[in-house]
Amino acid sequence: MSVEESEKTKAIGPAPEEDLIKLTSREKKKIDWRDKLYLAPLTTLGNLPFRRICKRLGADITCGEMALSVNLLQGSASEWALVKRHESEDVYGIQLCGSNAEAMIKCAELLDREIGVDFIDINMGCPIDLVYKQGGGSALMRRQSCLEHMVRGMTKVMSIPLTLKMRTGVYRDASVAHSIIEKAKLWDVSMVTLHGRSKEQRYLKLADWKYIKECAVVADPMPLYGNGDIFTYEDYKYQKENSGVAGVMIGRGALIKPWIFKEIKEEKHWDITSSERFDILKEYVNYGLEHWGSDNEGIEKTRRFLLEWLSFLHRYIPVGVLEQTQKINQRPPLYRGRDHLETLMISKSAKDWIKISEMLLGPTPPDFEFLPKHKANAYG
Ligand SMILES: Cc1cc2nc3c(=O)[nH]c(=O)nc-3n(C[C@H](O)[C@H](O)[C@H](O)COP(=O)(O)O)c2cc1C
């Protein structure tokens, strides 16, 4: 940002001109985005207990689960619970999803004023029909004048940085992220994360890091984070160095092996044992009971979220049993664990995940059933 721009006065607060509190953008809080490991926002799975684990294992930046601006404005208690921060989250943001610029601006102002967070992110990637049809999530990539109004309005009322998380575009062969990034530089956006897939594409093809690289050049000097398919420290190193991004965001890699952050920082593979993995589950359950309560309701909530997580965790193949490094998009070969617990942990059967939950939380209630919410397969 130029000196002239940083001297400009910014307005926060409700509309009438005379009521506006003036805030110079010099006073805006800043984040040093360089070289940080960013745990992706993950609906349902990226809850506070999970983020605590990722923080302990080396994640630098964390973000709450996507929250709908309209629900926050209506005071929905469950939506407000989604944006709660743990004290270990030292660079923490909230991801907002919405289609109406005015509601998003109001919500940003409210969050900035009422709760301590370090940044707010606009969700421009959500592919879910319900969100998309209403013009939110990835539909914002097609509604650029609304987006401009939304972004300019939000940066005006916020004292903390605004970031955008987008995909390459809506359609596979019509990438538009580069042109939005070019404009975002003029809108006072602090950082953009680009998930290298279109809305249409889902997880079936690998993320396009060549395009991410092109966008990092367009974004400069605004930092760009690259996102997609990072599963080992080698993936991280290769994509970070080759694309020239400021940092990398990790989603499924952290769900399948939350120790990925430690592996990246220490530049090695961790041949983690089944009992070390079980200790991580115990830690999660303790954080879960602390967060959701240790009464019956809290126990069953913790169990549900643990089962959701196990639907990702079982995809991890211990490095010690593999001849080649595991890739996120490869279907794991059939193999037997090195001990009984490891074999149980790699099971694809929800019945076995329930067994693991019973080892940690006691027997399930009668007629208990579980179907995972997310089927974002790591290997298509
Ligand atoms: C279970 C799940 C939930 C997700 N929820 C969100 C979300 O709330 N907001 C968002 O921007 N992206 C969400 N994503 C997308 C991820 O943040 C990330 O962009 C995507 O998974 C690609 O990164 P990866 O290849 O490292 O997983 C979600 C992904 C998964 C698998």
Q: What per-residue confidence (pLDDT) applies to 237?
A: 98
- Beta strands (DSSP E) in the chain are 9-12, 21-24, 37-39, 62-63, 67-68, 92-97, 119-124, 162-167, 191-195, 224-227, 247-250
Query: Does 283 share its domain with 239?
Result: no
Domain-embedded: residue 13: no
Tokens representing residue 331 in the block? 């279907």
Residues 107 and 250 both lie in one domain:
yes
| 376 CA closest ligand 1 atom index | 31
Residues designated as active site: 126
- Answer yes or no: do 50 and 178 share one domain: yes
Between CA 145 and CA 12 the distance in angstroms is 22
Assess if residue 341 is contained within a domain.
yes
Residue 65 Cα: closest atom of ligand 1: 8
5 within domain boundaries: no
User: Looking at residue 24, what is its pLDDT?
Assistant: 52
pLDDT reported for residue 227: 98
261 and 114 belong to one structural domain: yes
Final residue before a domain boundary, out of 213, 237, 266: 266
Give the closest residue (by CA) to ligand 1 atom 19. Answer: 195
Locate the ligand 1 atom nearest the alpha carbon of residue 231 and give its number: 26
Tell me which residue range forms the domain holding 312. 274-361
Q: For residue 19, is it within any domain?
A: no
CA–centroid distance, residue 287 to ligand 1 (Å): 22
pLDDT at 323: 77
Tell me how far the alpha carbon of residue 294 lies from the centroid of ligand 1, in angstroms.
Answer: 29
- At residue 337, the 3 state secondary structure works out as coil
Do 308 and 239 belong together in one domain? no
pLDDT of residue 376: 54
Q: Tokens 């294992």 appear where?
A: 57
Nearest Cα to Cα of residue 243 among 260, 223, 257: 223
Is 367 a member of any domain?
no
Nearest CA to ligand 1 atom 30: 42
Task: Establish how many alpha carbons lie within 13 A of residue 363's alpha carbon, considering only the half-sphere containing its beta carbon.
Answer: 3
Q: List 63's β-bridge partners, or say none.
A: 93
d(CA 153, CA 31): 20
Please report the atom of ligand 1 found closest to the CA of residue 123. 11
> Alpha-carbon distance 89 to 228, whole Å?
23
- Among 195, 204, 264, name the best residue to mutate to test ligand 1's pocket (greatest count of ligand atoms within 8 A of Cβ): 195
The domain total for the chain is 2
Residue 314 domain-assigned (yes or no): yes
d(CA 376, CA 380): 8
Cα(213)–Cα(221) distance, rounded to whole angstroms? 14
Q: Are residues 117 and 240 in the same domain?
A: yes
Specify the pLDDT at position 204: 79
Query: Which residues, in sequence order, are CB contacts of 312 under 8 Å at separation 6+?
Result: 45, 252, 255, 256, 374, 378
What would you report as the CA-atom Rg of the chain, rounded to the nearest whole angstrom? 21
Give the per-residue pLDDT at 379. Answer: 42
For ligand 1, atom 22, name the residue with the nearest CA: 228
Q: Is 253 domain-assigned?
A: yes
Place of tokens 């070019």: 182
Pocket test for ligand 1, best of 42, 119, 255, 309 (most atoms within 8 A of CB): 42
Q: Name the nearest CA neighbour of 57 among 252, 261, 255, 312.
A: 261
Which pLDDT score is estimated for 168? 97
Both 238 and 312 in one domain: the answer is: no
Do 357 and 211 belong together in one domain? no
Question: Chain-centre distance of CA 153, in angstroms?
Answer: 24
265/283 Cα distance (integer angstroms): 22
Q: Tens-digit pLDDT profile for the chain (380 aa)?
A: 333 333 333 333 333 444 444 455 547 899 999 999 999 999 999 999 999 999 999 999 999 999 999 999 999 999 999 999 999 999 999 999 999 999 999 999 999 999 989 999 999 999 999 999 999 999 999 999 999 999 999 999 999 999 999 999 999 889 999 999 999 999 999 999 999 999 998 787 899 999 999 999 999 999 999 999 999 999 999 999 999 999 999 999 999 999 999 999 999 999 999 999 999 999 999 999 999 999 999 999 999 999 999 999 999 999 888 878 888 887 777 788 999 999 999 999 999 999 999 999 999 999 899 988 876 544 43
Centre of ligand 1 from the C-alpha of residue 10, in Å: 33
Ligand 1 lining (C-beta closer than 6 Å) = 40-43, 45, 65-66, 95, 123, 125, 165, 195, 227-230, 250-253, 374, 376
Whether residue 238 is found in the same domain as residue 347? no
Any domain includes 377: no
